[in-house]
Amino acid sequence: MIPKAWRGRRSGFSLLVLAAGLLGALLGASPPAPVRDLDRRAFDLRLSLLPEVPVPLEVVLVLAREETLARMGRWPWPRRYHAALLDRLGEARTVVLDILFPEGGDPEDDALLARAAARHGRVVAAIHLAPGQGKAPPRILPPYDALFRGVADVGVTNVEADEDGVFRYAVPLWPVAGGVAPSLSLAGVSLALGLKPEVEESPRGLILRLGKARLDLDGDRRVWVRFSRVPPRVFEYGDVLEGKVPPEAFRDRIVVVGVAAAGAGDVVTAPNGGGVRSLFGAQFNGETIRTLLGGGTPRWIPPWAAALLGALVASLGAVLALFARPLWAALGFGGLVVLLLGGEQALLASGLWAAPLAGPLTPGVLTFGTGLYLRFRVLHGEERTHRLSVFGILDLVRETRDPKEIPERLASVLAEIRAQDGIEVESPGLSFREVFERTRALGVEEALEGAGKEAVVLETPRDPWRFRMIVPLPEEEETRYLLLRWRRSLPLEQVRSVAALAVAADWFARALTEAKKQKETLYQTVAAMVEAIDAKDPVTAGHSRRVCDLSVELARHLGADERTLEEITFGGIIHDVGKLGIPDAVLGKQGKLTDEEFALIRSHPSVGERILAPVSLPEVAKQAMAEHHEKWNGRGYPRGLKGTEISLAGRIVAVADVYDALASDRPYKKGWPLAEVCDLLYKQSREDFDPDVVQAFWEMKAPEDWVPPDRRPPTENASS
Ligand SMILES: [Fe+2]
Give domain limits for the chain. Answer: 4-30+303-379, 45-193+227-296, 400-512, 537-719
SS (H, E, C) 627-689: HCCCCCCCCCCCCCCCHHHCCHHHHHHHHHHHHHHHHCCECCECCCCHHHHHHHHHHHECCCE
Residue 522 CA, ligand 1 centroid: distance in Å = 21
Average pLDDT value for the chain: 82
Helix (H) or strand (E) holding 713, with range, is: none
Measured N-to-C along each axis, helices 326-349 and 303-323 cross at an angle, to the nearest 10 degrees, of 160
Q: Is 537-719 in the same CATH topology as 400-512?
A: no
User: Has residue 450 got a pLDDT over 60?
Assistant: no
User: Has residue 719 got a pLDDT over 70?
Assistant: no
Q: What is the torsion angle, in degrees rounded to the nearest 10, for the CA atoms of residue 448, residue 451, residue 456 and residue 462?
A: -50
Query: Which range in 370-384, 466-480, 700-714 is most confidently predicted, on average pLDDT?
Result: 700-714
pLDDT of residue 440: 65
C-alpha 436/C-alpha 446 separation (Å) is: 11
Residue 541 CA, ligand 1 centroid: distance in Å = 13
Residue 575 CA, ligand 1 centroid: distance in Å = 6
The SS3 of residue 589 is coil
b/e per residue 557-570 (b: at least 16 CB within 10 A) = bbebeeebebbbbb
Residue 519 CA, ligand 1 centroid: distance in Å = 24
pLDDT-wise least confident of 63-67, 73-77, 460-464: 460-464
More confident residue, 523 or 84: 84
Residue 627 CA, ligand 1 centroid: distance in Å = 9
Residue 625 CA, ligand 1 centroid: distance in Å = 8
Measured N-to-C along each axis, helices 543-557 and 648-663 cross at an angle, to the nearest 10 degrees, of 130
Residue 544 CA, ligand 1 centroid: distance in Å = 9
Question: If pLDDT is split at 50, 70 and 90, which confidence band does 720 have?
Answer: very low
Residue 612 CA, ligand 1 centroid: distance in Å = 15
Residue 185 CA, ligand 1 centroid: distance in Å = 128
Residue 626 CA, ligand 1 centroid: distance in Å = 9
Measured N-to-C along each axis, helices 406-421 and 362-387 cross at an angle, to the nearest 10 degrees, of 160
Question: If pLDDT is split at 50, 70 and 90, which confidence band does 337 have?
Answer: confident
Residue 566 CA, ligand 1 centroid: distance in Å = 20
Residue 711 CA, ligand 1 centroid: distance in Å = 32
Residue 703 CA, ligand 1 centroid: distance in Å = 26
Residue 559 CA, ligand 1 centroid: distance in Å = 25
Residue 51 CA, ligand 1 centroid: distance in Å = 112
Residue 338 CA, ligand 1 centroid: distance in Å = 92
Residue 545 CA, ligand 1 centroid: distance in Å = 13
Residue 636 CA, ligand 1 centroid: distance in Å = 12
Residue 39 CA, ligand 1 centroid: distance in Å = 101
Cβ neighbors of 375 (< 8 A, separation 6 or more) are 3, 321, 322
User: Has residue 1 got a pLDDT over 50?
Assistant: no
Residue 605 CA, ligand 1 centroid: distance in Å = 7
Residue 75 CA, ligand 1 centroid: distance in Å = 137
User: Has residue 431 got a pLDDT over 50?
Assistant: yes
Residue 629 CA, ligand 1 centroid: distance in Å = 7
Cβ neighbors of 441 (< 8 A, separation 6 or more) are 458, 460, 468
Residue 707 CA, ligand 1 centroid: distance in Å = 29
Residue 557 CA, ligand 1 centroid: distance in Å = 23
Mean pLDDT for 416-443 is 74
User: Has residue 260 got a pLDDT over 90?
Assistant: no
SS (H, E, C) 38-87: HHHHHHHHHHHHCCCCCCCCCEEEEEEEHHHHHHHCCCCCCCHHHHHHHH
Residue 325 CA, ligand 1 centroid: distance in Å = 74
Residue 706 CA, ligand 1 centroid: distance in Å = 28
pLDDT of residue 631: 94
Residue 659 CA, ligand 1 centroid: distance in Å = 12
pLDDT of residue 94: 95
User: Has residue 516 got a pLDDT over 50?
Assistant: yes
Residue 653 CA, ligand 1 centroid: distance in Å = 9
Residue 624 CA, ligand 1 centroid: distance in Å = 10
Residue 298 CA, ligand 1 centroid: distance in Å = 111
Residue 538 CA, ligand 1 centroid: distance in Å = 15
Q: Strands, E, within 496-559: which ranges?
A: none
Mean pLDDT for 379-407 is 60
* Neighbour tally for 662: CB within 10 Å: 17
Prior bond of 638 cis (ω within 30°): yes
Residue 558 CA, ligand 1 centroid: distance in Å = 22
Residue 576 CA, ligand 1 centroid: distance in Å = 5
C-alpha 126/C-alpha 99 separation (Å) is: 6
Mean pLDDT for 492-498 is 75
Backbone angles phi, psi at 148, to 5 degrees: -75, -10
Residue 372 CA, ligand 1 centroid: distance in Å = 76
- CA nearest to 367, candidates 717, 83, 17: 17
Exposed, middle or buried by CB within 10 Å (0-12, 13-18, 19+), for 92? buried
Residue 28 CA, ligand 1 centroid: distance in Å = 98
C-alpha 185/C-alpha 154 separation (Å) is: 10
- Per DSSP, the residues of 207-228 read EEEETTEEEE--TTS-EE----
C-alpha 200/C-alpha 295 separation (Å) is: 15
Residue 628 CA, ligand 1 centroid: distance in Å = 7
The SS3 of residue 446 is helix
User: Has residue 517 got a pLDDT over 70?
Assistant: yes
Residue 235 CA, ligand 1 centroid: distance in Å = 133
Give the end-to-end CA distance of the chain in Å, rounded to a whole number: 95
C-alpha 38/C-alpha 554 separation (Å) is: 87
Cross-strand pairs, 699:
none
* Neighbour tally for 225: CB within 10 Å: 25
Q: What is the pLDDT of residues 594-634, one digit of tens each?
A: 888 888 889 999 988 888 777 777 888 889 999 999 999 99
Cross-strand pairs, 208:
199, 215
How many residues are there in the chain? Answer: 720
User: Has residue 396 got a pLDDT over 70?
Assistant: no
The architecture (CATH level 2) of 537-719 comes to Orthogonal Bundle (1.10)
User: Has residue 127 got a pLDDT over 80?
Assistant: yes
Residue 572 CA, ligand 1 centroid: distance in Å = 10
Question: If pLDDT is split at 50, 70 and 90, which confidence band does 122 have?
Answer: very high
- Per DSSP, the residues of 148-197 read HTT-SEEEE------TTS---EE-SEEEETTEEEEBHHHHHHHHHHT---
Cβ neighbors of 220 (< 8 A, separation 6 or more) are 171
Mean pLDDT for 117-124 is 92
Q: What is the pLDDT of residues 2-51, one digit of tens each?
A: 455 455 556 667 787 888 888 888 888 888 888 888 888 888 888 888 88
Look at the domain 400-512 and name its fold. Answer: Beta-Lactamase (3.30.450)
Mean pLDDT for 129-158 is 79
pLDDT-wise least confident of 174-188, 332-346, 402-416: 402-416
Positive or negative: CA dihedral 405, 408, 414, 418 = negative
Mean pLDDT for 650-677 is 89
